[in-house]
Amino acid sequence: METNQTEPVSEMNVFSRIVNLFVTPSKTFEALIAKPDWVTPLVFIFLMFTAASILLKDVIQKEQAVATKEAIMKNPQIPDSQKQESADQAISMMKKFWAVGIGIGFIAVLVIYLLGGLFLHIGGKNIMKGEGTYLQVLSIFGYSGLVDVLSGIIKVPLMMANHTMRVDTGLGMLVASDQTRTPLYSFLSKFDIFTFWQLAILIIGLTMLYKF
């Protein structure tokens, strides 16, 4: 019988949940609704954040240094005679407190993760009149975030190879490389295939939970 050949959703292991998220997301969300798991995706997100911070340290610091110097050079409140010195000091300070920035990044990731789930839970309760629990919503939100982890696995090696943080998988590729720090690029880069994929998976999970 089929029930003897299929793993019960409530007993689906971590590997099966992750694989099914990208193949048959409804199976993963069915398992999460029966037995929430918000820790696993958070661990993967932290691991991706740590790996990216280590592997891309030189690339990130280089681009931050360029952006910092440009901002100081364009600042009319700083005398021209002091701009280069101010830029050097700011860049030196940035590199010196790199580890502190990583620590703050970890806290920011955790806060965004927990608040994101809370926002969706409140919306589901008050707008969609759903009966889902916070941990169920947080689990769905977290697992949808694994799409972003996959994006990092693909993009980080490309960033390392090309020595740039810019790797476009969406409308950002329409903007010239010398326009990376423009409002237009910031806007268009949001329209990314991985962003839409993550949103679609999140909608599937919330639809299953709130039955709308």
pLDDT of 144 > 70? The answer is yes
In whole angstroms, what is the distance from residue 98 CA to residue 119 CA? 31
Residue 137's Cβ-side half-sphere holds a number of Cα atoms within 13 Å equal to: 19
Q: Token pair for residue 89?
A: 């000091």
3-state secondary structure of 192: strand
Instruction: Among 19-23, 76-80, 166-170, name the most confident range.
Output: 19-23
In whole angstroms, what is the distance from residue 142 CA to residue 52 CA? 19
In whole angstroms, what is the distance from residue 172 CA to residue 194 CA? 13
How far, in Å, are 66, 67, 80, 136, 141 from residue 77 at the CA level? 19, 17, 9, 51, 44
pTM (2 decimals)? 0.85
pLDDT score, position 8: 58
pLDDT of 41 > 80? The answer is yes
pLDDT of 94 > 90? The answer is no
Mean pLDDT in residue range 101-105? 91
Comparing 125 with 7, the larger pLDDT belongs to 125
Mean pLDDT in residue range 156-163? 94
In whole angstroms, what is the distance from residue 101 CA to residue 81 CA? 30
In whole angstroms, what is the distance from residue 208 CA to residue 212 CA? 7
